[in-house]
Structure 1
Amino acid sequence: MPKTPGLKFKGENVSVYVVDDIALTRFKWELIDASGARISKGISAEVQRRCEDGLWRFIIDDAGGGSRA
């Protein structure tokens, strides 16, 4: 995420499911302004693949976790 003066990004892993070389992760996040007020929050969903070099790379990164109607 690019740096924006006065904004803070906080988050924590909610869940991680791994089968072979595919992973589904969920991440709870908040965006806080300079006064400390939360201006946005959500739970994201990501699908990742372990590549031949051993690194995990994102296939899908959905900041809304697919929860939008």
Structure 2
Amino acid sequence: MSRKVYQPAEMNGAFAAARNAGNLDELLSLYEDDAQLLVDASGVALTGKAAIAAELQKLIKLPGTMVSNNTFCVAHGDLALLRADFTLSDGKGIVFYSGFTAEIIRKQADGSWRYVIDHAGASRYGAG
């Protein structure tokens, strides 16, 4: 199944929903074919859906529920710059993993938006 986002500010919520559903295909549908994903400060980018899939599978396997809230969304033409803060928490509301993202998304021919660059940074809390 493909998940489509038609408002840039809804991208992070859509990502969290697909992650919480454990749906790798939906997560990947949010990325352009040659998108880049950076997951740490090393500057190493994973390019393309196959490389991104392996990393997103790790995220899906983490326990808990993800919530992702935009800090800002700045759209200009067919591009948008996003920043969000996210958490993973257990059923009692205890946060055991949190972080932030910086993203560039692009409007597609059908009016939906997809990630071009997704840079996530995280800090682990607790025993999770």
Same fold by TM (over 0.5)? Answer: yes
- Equivalences for residues 1-69 of structure 1 within 5 A: 1=19, 2=22, 7-64=64-121
AA aligned to 1:12 is N
User: Where do 5+ consecutive residues of structure 2 fail to align?
Assistant: 1-18, 23-59, 123-128
- TM-score, structure 2 normalization: 0.44
10-19 or 27-36: bigger deviation: 27-36
The percentage of counterpart residues that share the same residue type is 31
- TM-score, structure 1 normalization: 0.76
Larger helix proportion of the pair: 2
Larger strand proportion of the pair: 1
Cα-to-partner distance string for 1:5-48 (whole Å, 9 max, x where unaligned) = x6111121110011110101111110112443211111111110
- SS of 1:52's equivalent? coil
Following TM superposition, the consecutive aligned residue runs of length 4 or more in structure 1 with deviations greater than 3 angstroms are none
Please tell me the root mean square deviation across aligned C-alpha atoms, in Å.
2.3
54-63 or 34-43: bigger deviation: 34-43
AA aligned to 2:111 is G
Equivalenced residues, count: 65
User: Where do 5+ consecutive residues of structure 1 fail to align?
Assistant: none
